[in-house]
């Protein structure tokens, strides 16, 4: 009987994580919610959820920022969703505070007439195998800020709102970030989360 995989969702204390936890859980996956960033990295995979504001989340991560960066650099699989993906970057226009800086770049406000961007949108130019395994085409978004990486080498999918084209997904080693909410993106979104977990097990 194979060992159950432990996936830890870091809780910034900003909202309901029920749908994300439910989507990640399976008979061979134990999902743990942790509020202490230093303890959260003691896991098989870390998930930074997409609920909350950049400044608050950065403040919660700050005591263990270097430890998280080191763990990710050593290969700890990490999935960042919406705000979680933005926390991989160095800073955000949304407010003060330092991100993890595992991806070089910053987060800026979406350049569109209607902000926030809420609803379904198309994911294009996909190159990440985890996205491909899920068969993602349309995904659900709820955000006002987007990631602007210094290098496009990290970008594995794109989305556009009006004339603003921004990363829908990024990858750096075992770190995956998505601007959309897979837990709200119907069956394909759940398949993406399961594909991420399957990749961790492999």
Q: Which residues are identified as catalytic?
A: 82, 181, 183
Q: In this structure, are residues 45 and 10 in contact, taking their beta carbons and an 8 Å threshold?
A: no
Length of the chain: 202
Q: Please report where in the chains the tokens 């080498």 appear, as a residue.
A: 153
The string of DSSP codes covering 44-70 is SEEEE-S-S-HHHHHHHHGGGHHHHHH
Backbone φ and ψ of 12, nearest 5° = -75, -5
CA–CA distance, 82 with 80 (Å, rounded to integer): 7
Inter-CA distances, 200 with 53, 77, 135, 175, Å: 28, 7, 19, 11
**Closest by Cα among 195, 198, 187 to 139:** 187
CA–CA distance, 123 with 140 (Å, rounded to integer): 10
């Amino acid at each position: 009987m194979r060992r159950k995989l432990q996936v830890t969702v870091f809780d910034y204390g900003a909202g309901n994580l029920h749908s994300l936890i439910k989507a990640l859980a399976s008979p061979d996956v134990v999902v743990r919610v942790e509020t202490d960033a230093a303890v959260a990295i003691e896991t098989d995979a870390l998930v930074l959820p997409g609920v909350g504001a950049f400044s608050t989340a950065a403040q919660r991560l700050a005591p263990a920022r270097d430890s998280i960066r080191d763990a990710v650099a050593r290969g700890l699989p990490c999935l960042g969703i919406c705000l979680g993906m933005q926390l991989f970057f160095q800073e955000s226009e949304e407010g003060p505070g330092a991100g993890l800086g595992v991806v070089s770049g910053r987060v800026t406000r979406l350049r569109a007439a209607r902000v926030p961007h809420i609803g379904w949108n198309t994911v294009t130019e996909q190159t990440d195998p985890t996205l491909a395994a899920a068969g993602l085409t349309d995904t659900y978004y709820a955000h006002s800020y987007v990631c602007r990486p210094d290098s496009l080498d990290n970008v594995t999918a794109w989305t556009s709102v009006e004339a603003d084209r921004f990363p829908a997904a990024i990858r750096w080693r075992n770190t995956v970030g998505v601007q959309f909410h897979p837990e709200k993106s119907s069956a394909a979104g759940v398949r993406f989360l399961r594909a991420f977990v399957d990749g961790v097990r492999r």
